[in-house]
Amino acid sequence: MLIARTLTLLLALGIGGCDRTSADIRDLEGYEQSIRQWHEERIGRLTDEDGYLNLAGLHWLSEGSSRFGAAADNDIVLPADKAEPYVGTLNVAEGRVLMTIEEGVLAHHGGQPVTKLWLSTDQDEQQEPSVITHRTLAWFAIEREGKIGLRVRDFEHPALTEFSGIRTFPIDPGWRTLATLRPHDEPRQMNIPTVIEGLDYAPVSPGILEFELEGRSYTVEPAASGDRLFIIFADSTTGRETYGAGRFLYTAAPDERGETIIDFNMAYNPPCAFNDFSTCPIAPPQNRLPIAINAGEKYDRSLHLGTAH
């Protein structure tokens, strides 16, 4: 299968006489090494301090005051044995969050002890989100579609020690294909559900990407993401060998001809494949491909740590 796909790709791209070098794979060994390196970097991002493997909680805040700490009678219960029984309170008013730390409890912001602070969120355009640390925990405010939540990390999370890597399909250049963007008359807003009921993801789409795989034409609708395109897709492996909500994939922005490369070898699992504390979008109907994309990351249920862990 690998040899057949590779020969098909080389013929389709005209390697040896084609001037579209952006679609060329002249050095197959080098290509495979680049995919392996990309995946190693991906693992590094997952496991670092700002990665998704150390997430230990996501709590949506209501207007008014919420008490938080490790004791079970708090409004927001932090991981047991990881925090003081009563750490402090969060007061939400008009879209802002005021955190007050209990007397005698040690918490830090920017390396300095903190007792009271207005928390900036991850959507604040003027400053970075306020990250508060306490023992091995850290927390910060996130904002999604007008809702504010408290996301909690544990720098000694069991997921970090239990993580053994992510299984992938064999690297196959046949899953790397030229795609052409067919622009919408006007960029349009997509309405994509997420794994959080009632919370949607509404990015802007510049158009439809058309591409071929195994001699058949397919389309997906990407979202604009800076200087790249972001694709949330599902296929015939979804819910079986790959994650049930779909997988993610980025491409470079299309060139002056409207062309870019889709490389399904770089398809990866969303954060919610690893825990219950992410707000992942679900593959929309127009991006559910009637083909098995045997490329990129597989899903391993044993790597998912939920609220009961």
- 247 vs 279 pLDDT, higher one: 247
Catalogue all structural domains in the chain, each as residue range(s) with its CATH number. 55-156 (2.60.200.20), 165-303 (no CATH)
Task: Give me the DSSP letters along 56-119.
Answer: EEEEEPPSEEEEEESSTTSSEEPPTTSS-S--EEEEEETTEEEEEEPTT---EETTEE-SEEEE
Whole-number percent of the chain with pLDDT over 90: 76
* Confidence bin at 306 (pLDDT 50/70/90): low
Q: Give the per-residue pLDDT at 198.
A: 72
Distance CA 44, CA 31 (A): 20
Pairing of strands 247-252, 216-220: unpaired
Q: Mean pLDDT score of the chain, rounded to an integer?
A: 89
Q: Give the per-residue pLDDT at 278.
A: 86
> How far is C-alpha 161 from the geometric centre of its chain's CA atoms?
21
**Res. 19: pLDDT tops 80:** no
Q: Whose structure tokens read 């409207």?
A: 258
Q: What is the mean pLDDT of residues 272-292?
A: 94
CA-CA-CA-CA dihedral for 191, 212, 272, 109, to nearest 10: -80
**Res. 308: pLDDT tops 60:** no
Q: Whose structure tokens read 């994939």?
A: 249
Give the pLDDT confidence of 57-99 residue by residue, as tens digits: 999 999 999 999 999 999 999 998 999 999 999 999 988 999 9
Q: What is the mean pLDDT of residues 228-251?
A: 97
Cα end-to-end span (Å), the chain: 40
Q: For residue 44, how many C-alpha atoms fall within 13 Å in the half-sphere facing its CB?
A: 6
CB 165 within 8 Å of CB 269 = no
Burial (Cβ within 10 Å: 0-12, 13-18, ≥19) of residue 52: buried
Q: Give the per-residue pLDDT at 129.
A: 93
